[in-house]
């Protein structure tokens, strides 16, 4: 009897016992067994610390708007691993996942292929079998040795560089930038949204070494947020080949707008590689319909409380979150519900939120299915840090889980921001019955 989707999903997550092993050997061998599905579609490869998911979603939307059947591979997921692979906006079917696991589990276990390598191969195999002409692929971690770096893309993008995953990628901006710059390929345009000298020098070196065409986003593109409200933004965009005078974007914040513009640019170049010229009206329509859950997503919660779901999980993202709160809720303080991974810089994360914080709730959240298996920071530790940062002036609470946190904020008249990780937001979505 074939496994159920839940059994297949549990088996896939069980592969995390093989750990995180950066390198291309095992993924290359697995793809060879599958007849190299990644060679069957034109690809767009996206790396970066923050913003790569939003940029990937925008690139996918723009490519699809031009009549191209397009896959989208992102990580991590919020509620179900099916979110990681989408084709024309639809999640990978349960039956494909279960069938794939049944056919390939013996090989995977024998070769000790890791969770992320398997999910990557599964997605590429589905894209091929379902007839994708293109795919937008987000790097899992780093770039140079990430499983997705088997691609021979039409275009690449690096969104931004910050300190992250330092035990895997290195302890300086330059080291991390060099790892992310490792997606550069000979003759392939590499759009770079990072402009700080230390990181940019490392990316330049990688591009030069690979023979890639380095394209500095801020030199090639002029964009501007024209207006912003609680429903989204309006922006203008001008690149060498595309002009958008007034495009509506249902995402909030200047950083989200910039990330979408990065996605537009790499989509232009990917389409160009397919012999297609990006059209303004199709691009505007794609942006207007863009949906990317967990990015300053505003919903009504228990007792009418206004909830904001935000996957920010490092200090740079926390800074952007604070700016969004200041713009959407001027003069108001937010109540933060926060759970963070233990390997994050949670002191600086909380410090960035402090100017707009009216209180903190730290729930215990299960991080058991984290891609890097870092585990959650203890709520009591986070509470002690928040209490010290605020000088004891803010109310700081610890609770048993997201369900308990949602009860604590029932009827709250302040905006309630649930943030700190994909796991935190995903747990809230699951509790609230939201399917991303």
The full DSSP string for 169-186 is: H-SSHHHHHHHHHTT--T
- CATH top-level class for 5-288? alpha beta
Pick the CATH number of 297-432 from 2.40.30.40, 3.90.190.20, 3.40.50.620, 3.30.420.40: 3.90.190.20
What residues are paired with 362 via a beta bridge? 398
**Which residue do the tokens 């894209």 mark?**
127
Q: For the CA atoms of 284, 288, 293, 297, what is the dihedral angle to 10 degrees?
A: 130
Answer whether 5-288 and 297-432 agree in fold.
Answer: no
DSSP conformation letters of 58-118? HHHHHHHHTT--EEEE--S-SS-GGGGEEETTEEPPHHHHHHHHHHHHHHHHHHT--HHHH
What confidence score (pLDDT) does residue 276 get? 98
211 Cβ neighbours under 8 A, 6+ residues apart: 186, 187
Query: What pLDDT sits at residue 369?
Result: 60
In the chain, where the domains are located = 5-288, 297-432
Q: What is the pLDDT of residue 19?
A: 84
127 alpha carbon, distance to own chain's centre: 19
Walk along the chain (436 residues) and give the pLDDT tens digit of each residue: 568 999 999 999 999 999 888 889 999 999 999 999 999 999 999 999 999 999 999 999 999 999 999 999 999 999 999 999 999 999 999 999 999 999 999 999 999 999 999 999 999 999 999 999 999 999 999 999 999 999 999 999 999 998 776 666 778 999 999 999 999 999 999 999 999 999 999 999 999 999 999 999 999 999 999 999 999 999 999 999 999 999 999 999 999 999 999 999 999 999 999 999 999 999 999 999 999 999 999 999 999 999 999 999 999 999 999 999 999 999 999 999 999 998 888 999 999 999 999 999 999 998 876 565 568 999 999 999 999 999 999 999 999 999 999 999 999 999 999 999 999 999 999 999 999 9
pLDDT of residue 171: 81
352 CA to centre of own chain: 20
Place of tokens 């709250």: 412
Quote the pLDDT of residue 49.
Answer: 92
**So what's the pLDDT on residue 362?**
98
pTM: 0.95
């Amino acid at each position: 009897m074939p496994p159920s989707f839940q059994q297949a999903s549990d088996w896939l997550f069980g592969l995390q016992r093989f750990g995180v092993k950066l390198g291309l050997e095992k993924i290359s061998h697995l793809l060879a067994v599958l007849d190299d599905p990644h060679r069957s579609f034109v690809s767009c490869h996206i790396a970066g610390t923050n913003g790569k998911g939003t940029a990937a979603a925008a690139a996918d939307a723009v490519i699809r708007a031009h009549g191209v059947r397009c896959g989208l591979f992102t990580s991590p997921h919020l509620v179900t691993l099916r979110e990681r692979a989408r084709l024309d906006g639809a999640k990978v079917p349960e039956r494909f996942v279960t069938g794939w696991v049944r056919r390939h589990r013996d090989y995977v276990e024998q070769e000790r292929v890791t969770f992320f390598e398997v999910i990557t191969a599964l997605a590429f195999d589905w894209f091929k079998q379902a007839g994708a002409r293109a795919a937008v692929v987000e790097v899992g971690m780093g770039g140079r040795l990430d499983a997705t770096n088997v691609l021979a893309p039409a275009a690449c993008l690096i969104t931004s560089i910050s300190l992250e995953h330092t035990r895997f990628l290195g302890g300086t901006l330059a080291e991390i930038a060099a790892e992310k710059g490792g997606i550069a390929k000979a003759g392939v345009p590499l759009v770079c949204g990072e402009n700080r000298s230390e990181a940019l020098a490392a990316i330049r070196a990688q591009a030069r070494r690979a023979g890639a065409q380095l394209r500095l986003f801020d030199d090639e593109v002029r964009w501007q947020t024209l207006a912003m409200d609680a429903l989204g933004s309006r922006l203008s965009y001008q690149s060498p080949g595309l002009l958008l005078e007034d495009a509506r974007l249902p995402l909030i914040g200047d950083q989200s707008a910039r990330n979408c513009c990065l996605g537009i640019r790499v989509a232009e170049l990917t389409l160009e590689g397919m012999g297609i010229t990006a059209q303004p009206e199709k691009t505007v329509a794609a942006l207007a319909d863009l949906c990317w859950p967990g990015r300053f997503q505003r919903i009504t919660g228990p007792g009418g409380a206004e909830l904001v779901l935000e996957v920010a999980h490092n200090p740079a993202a926390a800074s952007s979150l604070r700016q969004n709160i200041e713009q959407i809720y001027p003069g108001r303080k937010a109540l933060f519900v926060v759970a963070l991974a233990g390997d994050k810089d949670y002191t600086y994360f909380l410090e960035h939120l402090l100017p707009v914080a009216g209180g903190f709730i730290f729930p215990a959240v299960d991080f058991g299915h984290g891609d890097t298996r870092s585990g959650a920071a203890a709520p009591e530790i986070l509470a002690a840090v928040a209490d010290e940062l605020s000088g004891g002036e803010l109310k700081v609470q610890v609770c048993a889980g997201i369900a308990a946190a949602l009860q604590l904020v029932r009827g709250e008249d302040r905006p309630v921001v649930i943030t700190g990780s994909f796991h935190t937001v995903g747990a809230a979505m699951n509790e609230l019955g939201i399917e991303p």
